[in-house]
Amino acid sequence: MGMVRTLWQKVDASIQLQHKKVFVSVPDFAVTNDSLAQQIRPLLEAAGLQAVRFWPLCKTSLMYLYNLEDCVDEGPACENYRGRPTDSVLSIHLDQWSMSLRSMIREDGMFYPGLGNTKLIWREAGTKLDDEIKKFTNTTVDLVLLSGPEASQLYKIVEQLFKDNANIVPEDYVRSAEDHTFAAARGAARLARDGMCNDFTVCIPNAWCPVSNHCKWAFYGQQSEQKTEL
């Protein structure tokens, strides 16, 4: 609790935050958010903060690196990347201590957490990263998502494992060190910006939801009055 409060105070002193709301990136090896939310939410509340969303790291990273997310009624244009469908995404997060793998599978436009597989591998002596990743290549993969400060170490492995897959190309997954490291945080920041446009009041996206030129989604609840963008 003390660490959370201290972090908030340091950020608030620099930026003067108006919303005491927190986006939490859930590790990819957690199949669902429920158990982690039960542990983290009381800590945030004790620090005077409110958790508005618990999102898997892979989903916020996907949003930032590829501008892709869950699609409700938007159709193929929302689900495609460079004209290609993204029904199956392999997310790999690599840091100094571990590698987490998660296969993201679309169904009716949505990346439901229970559809894919997850695995956490500790980087111990003798651990072969390519062998672990290969176990996740048995099914069709439309896109590879690399995140984490050590992600560049995976370039050659991904190139070799997917050499026969025309959809997996370096110009997609090779990014700057900063993009790999901060992909999840920057994706969460984008969600936060959207939330500031509507004070975190949402509606299911459809034709009657007003769209902002500043935010991708500027939703208003059915009972809320229209708000002015910040």
Asked if pLDDT for residue 200 goes beyond 70, the answer is no
Q: In this structure, is residue 206 part of a structural domain?
A: no
Residue-number span of the structural domain to which 58 is assigned: 2-8+19-198
Q: In this structure, is residue 84 part of a structural domain?
A: yes
Asked if pLDDT for residue 222 goes beyond 80, the answer is no
**What whole-number distance in Å separates Cα of residue 146 and Cα of residue 180?**
7
Q: In this structure, is residue 229 part of a structural domain?
A: no
- For residue 45, the cross-strand partners are none
- State the pLDDT confidence band at 218, using cuts at 50, 70 and 90: very low
Q: For position 75, what pLDDT does the model report?
A: 73
- For 52, 99, 145, 210, the CA distances from 226, given in Å and listed in that order, are 21, 44, 37, 9
Q: In this structure, is residue 226 part of a structural domain?
A: no
Q: In this structure, is residue 89 part of a structural domain?
A: yes
Q: In this structure, is residue 213 part of a structural domain?
A: no
Q: In this structure, is residue 216 part of a structural domain?
A: no
Q: For position 225, what pLDDT does the model report?
A: 42
Q: In this structure, is residue 210 part of a structural domain?
A: no
- The count of structural domains within the chain is 1
Strands of the chain, DSSP E: 21-26, 50-56, 80-81, 84-85, 88-94, 98-107, 110-111, 118-122, 143-147
Q: For position 23, what pLDDT does the model report?
A: 75
Tokens 């793998």 locate to 101
Pick the range with the lowest mean pLDDT from 3-7, 99-103, 131-135, 144-148: 3-7
Q: For position 197, what pLDDT does the model report?
A: 62
**What whole-number distance in Å separates Cα of residue 210 and Cα of residue 30?**
34
